[in-house]
Amino acid sequence: MLNRHARGFFTSLFTPLARWLLKIGMSPDAVTLVGTAGVILGGLVLYPLGQLWWGSVVVAFFAFSDVVDGIMARLQGRSGGWGNFLDSTLDRLADGAIFAGLTIWFFTQGDDPAIGTAAVVCLVLGMVVSYARAKAESLGYHASVGIAERAERLASVLLITGLTGLGLPPVVLLATLVLLALASVITIIQRMATVRKQAMAEADGKATA
């Protein structure tokens, strides 16, 4: 949802930067790698140190590389399988770093096992959300549906985590993670139902033929 509505705005915003990076010799793959490294830094270094605000700022800053590398690839006419594969694979590492960092902090000095547990659940369910779409597409179906795609998950977690670092009561972060987990479950069900519908229609077509 957020991906579709915000894509045009962020494409216009970051196209000048993408052109400049290409001009100085940066490749889309390099931007993808640097962006992922930055997200991992924020998630696995700053979050476990309790720097929830600055960790969120760093993660959000580098997360925009996900937009920039795509624009660069299109400007070069290189949009294709390898770039999509690399981007998708590193996105899983980035997501894992964010939720793992929260888990580490709240199970240790953050002293809030409920939030740590919710972060683990969100991590697992988020991976299943992404896997369901990838597996569907590998089988020739589409599953780009659901109320909790990656952009929504990251935006909500980063915003509330950052505000928690500035003094927002931790219970708000807990509620956000619980709601995100529920939304992820709904998204998984939506994607499974969508693929099942396509598979049944395909089977009926073959039976008729």
In the residue annotation, 91 being an active-site residue is answered as yes
| CA gap 54, 14 in Å, rounded | 23
DSSP-assigned letter for residue 80: S
3-state secondary structure of 64: coil
Closest CA relative to residue 180, chosen from 202, 160, 208:
160
Annotated catalytic residue, options 91, 95, 111, 204: 91
DSSP-assigned letter for residue 108: T
Class of residue 209 by CB neighbours under 10 A (exposed 0-12, middle 13-18, buried 19+) = exposed
Closest CA relative to residue 138, chosen from 81, 57, 53:
81
| CA gap 47, 54 in Å, rounded | 8
Residues acting as catalytic residues: 91
